[in-house]
Amino acid sequence: MTALHPIRFQPDMEVVPEDEAQTTAELIEALHTIQAITTEDYPTAVRSVHAKSHGIVKGTVQVLDNLPPQLAQGLFAKPAHYPVVMRFSTNPGDILDDRVSTPRGLALKIMLPDDAATEGGVAAGLDGTFSQDFVMQNAPKFTAPTPKAFLGNLKLLAKTTDKAEGLKVALSAVLRGTESLIEKVGSESGAIKSMGGHPMTHVLGETFYTMVPLLYGEYYGKVSVAPVSPGLQSLTDQAVSLKDNPDGLRAAVVAFFSQNDAEWEIRVQLAADREQFPIEDASQEWPESVSPYVAVARITVPKQDAWSAEVERSIDQCSGFSPWHCLSAHRPLGGIMRSRKPAYEASQRHRFSANGCPFAAAAAAKNPTQTPD
Ligand code: HEM
């Protein structure tokens, strides 16, 4: 069931604080500090955050037939199918032993035909391709309400880049204990999870959320991707043994896709009123009892090699996901989303250039003023 009366987006729902440009510049600087350190340390340049991939797979998105008008919007306006790339990650900017157990990420890149640019007002990525991306984590709300609040957390994290991995593993074990205690008494702490207190669960069993809103045609909402095939659902909350393998999460994903196909649903939660479904407070969970997530498309991924030298080069090193690679019908909304636009561009420009990606010069020329180097 959709929200019975989803509300239409109104421009006055977005409010830009006077100092937002300054906050965003400081966020980019903190992210660049992380990336500059890791670029020195690793053979290739990696993302400022979500640096470690746990598998990259290719499949198809099929928009569902007979969606009601409120759901048949933007990409989901009519039944169609599109190629999709899915990248699973965890959130630190350095490549850590998986026993430092942190929130899981999923980025979707739904490839659009070239005429989407004229028909749907889509912006090309720095690599020149047109896509609708959904960039998600496995929680329904963000850890901070605003970019300014997030900046404090990020500055702390930036200071821990590349510092004593053994200590992070030990801290992660302590935090997991703390987190499971907190969960037993009925709440959970995003901050503890993001520092290493996430349970050591299989990444493929998770449900992922955009956490923050985007336009949904005339309406606005959040998007999720939920496992629906029995093989994926059996992995929900399933522990992965990471004892002997620092890359155990990737090994588990590769093992799954060597034997299995998989299916997820793409779902949308439409906003039903201004108070309970705010745009400018990213830390507020929107009530599913008032407006549940409902399916609008299905992703199918056939059995395949989920990690290869080819995807490592073409997608891990030389491709970028961003919520701002989108149709105008799905423009990201709110402060956290606004700050992500230049932050993702800066991280990608640095990566593409340091990794000698084929389109790096064109990417650098596109918007040289935002390069932090
Ligand atoms: C709703 C909140 C957020 C979610 C769900 C999220 C999720 C993700 C995910 C999954 C990735 C990996 C994308 C990939 O696989 O390539 C990523 C990358 C990244 N995120 Fe976020 N993120 C959020 C907020 C932010 C914020 C507030 C910032 C900074 C202002 C930020 C900066 C970045 C950067 C710089 C990258 C790397 C981009 C690249 O080099 O490709 N994120 N994020």
Please give the residue range of the domain that contains residue 318.
Answer: 52-333
Q: How far is the CA of 65 from the centre of ligand 1 (A)?
A: 32
Residue entry with tokens 């037939």: 65
The domain total for the chain is 1
Q: Is residue 115 part of a domain?
A: yes
Q: Convert the pLDDT of each residue in 25-53 to its tens digit.
A: 999 999 999 999 999 989 999 999 999 99
The protein residue with its alpha carbon nearest to ligand 1, atom 19, reads 49
Q: Is 31 in the pocket of ligand 1 (CB under 6 A)?
A: yes
- Looking from the CA of residue 350, the nearest atom of ligand 1 is 40
Q: Is residue 106 part of a domain?
A: yes
**125: closest CA among 361, 357, 326, 293?**
326
Contact 85, 108 (CB under 8 A): yes
Q: Is 315 in the pocket of ligand 1 (CB under 6 A)?
A: no
Q: Beta partners for 131?
A: 111
By three-state DSSP, how is residue 172 classified? helix
Mean pLDDT calculated for residue range 221-237: 98
Residue 144: pLDDT above 80?
A: yes
Q: How far is the CA of 101 from the centre of ligand 1 (A)?
A: 18
- Looking from the CA of residue 88, the nearest atom of ligand 1 is 15
Q: Is 141 in the pocket of ligand 1 (CB under 6 A)?
A: no
pLDDT of residue 115: 75
By three-state DSSP, how is residue 298 classified? strand
Q: Is 49 in the pocket of ligand 1 (CB under 6 A)?
A: yes
pLDDT of residue 129: 86
Residue entry with tokens 């598998």: 55
Res. 372 pLDDT band, cuts 50 70 90 = very low
Q: Is residue 359 part of a domain?
A: no
pLDDT of residue 169: 65
pLDDT of residue 373: 32
- Looking from the CA of residue 340, the nearest atom of ligand 1 is 30
Ligand 1 pocket mutation pick from 47, 157, 207, 223 by most atoms within 8 angstroms of CB: 47
pLDDT of residue 3: 57
pLDDT of residue 125: 86
Least confident of 57-61, 163-167, 260-264, 300-304: 163-167
Q: How far is the CA of 48 from the centre of ligand 1 (A)?
A: 8
Q: Is 82 in the pocket of ligand 1 (CB under 6 A)?
A: no
- Looking from the CA of residue 24, the nearest atom of ligand 1 is 30
CA pair distance 168, 110, nearest whole angstrom: 35
CA pair distance 14, 111, nearest whole angstrom: 28
Q: Is 150 in the pocket of ligand 1 (CB under 6 A)?
A: yes
DSSP string, 217-282: TTEEEEEEEEE-SHHHHTTTT-B---TT-TTHHHHHHHHHHHH--EEEEEEEEE---TTTS-SS-T
pLDDT of residue 103: 93
Q: Is residue 283 part of a domain?
A: yes
Q: How far is the CA of 50 from the centre of ligand 1 (A)?
A: 7
Q: How far is the CA of 5 from the centre of ligand 1 (A)?
A: 31
Size of the chain in residues: 373
Q: Is residue 8 part of a domain?
A: no
Q: Convert the pLDDT of each residue in 60-111 to its tens digit.
A: 999 999 999 999 999 999 999 999 999 999 998 989 899 888 999 999 999 9
Contact 100, 195 (CB under 8 A): no
pLDDT of residue 161: 73
The protein residue with its alpha carbon nearest to ligand 1, atom 35, reads 344
Percent of the chain residues topping a pLDDT of 90: 72
Ligand 1 pocket mutation pick from 44, 129, 135 by most atoms within 8 angstroms of CB: 135
pLDDT of residue 219: 98
pLDDT of residue 123: 74
Ligand 1 pocket mutation pick from 23, 42, 49 by most atoms within 8 angstroms of CB: 49
Query: Mean pLDDT of all residues in the chain?
Result: 89
| Inter-axis angle of helices 20-41 and 147-159, nearest 10 | 20
Res. 371 pLDDT band, cuts 50 70 90 = very low
pLDDT of residue 1: 52
DSSP string, 246-262: TTHHHHHHHHHHHH--E
Res. 369 pLDDT band, cuts 50 70 90 = very low
Q: Convert the pLDDT of each residue in 168-189 to its tens digit.
A: 666 566 556 556 555 555 556 6
pLDDT of residue 175: 54
Q: Write down the pTM of the prediction.
A: 0.92
Contact 64, 266 (CB under 8 A): no
Contact 203, 237 (CB under 8 A): no
- Looking from the CA of residue 87, the nearest atom of ligand 1 is 15
Q: How far is the CA of 67 from the centre of ligand 1 (A)?
A: 30
Res. 118 pLDDT band, cuts 50 70 90 = low
**87: closest CA among 46, 121, 116?**
46
Mean pLDDT calculated for residue range 227-231: 98
Q: Is residue 2 part of a domain?
A: no
Query: What H or E segment, with its residue span, contains residue 155?
Result: helix 147-159
Q: Convert the pLDDT of each residue in 230-287 to its tens digit.
A: 999 999 999 998 878 999 999 999 999 999 999 999 999 999 999 999 999 999 999 9
The protein residue with its alpha carbon nearest to ligand 1, atom 4, reads 136
Label residues 153-190 b or e (16+ Cβ within 10 Å = b): bbeebbebbeeeeeebbebbeebbeebeeeeeeeeeeb
DSSP string, 52-117: EEEEEEEEEEEEPSS--TTTS-GGGSS--EEEEEEEEEES-SS---TTSB--EEEEEEEE--TTHH
AA letter at 352: F
Residue 192: pLDDT above 90?
A: no
Q: Is residue 131 part of a domain?
A: yes
CATH value at residue 292: 2.40.180.10
Q: Is residue 27 part of a domain?
A: no
The protein residue with its alpha carbon nearest to ligand 1, atom 26, reads 340
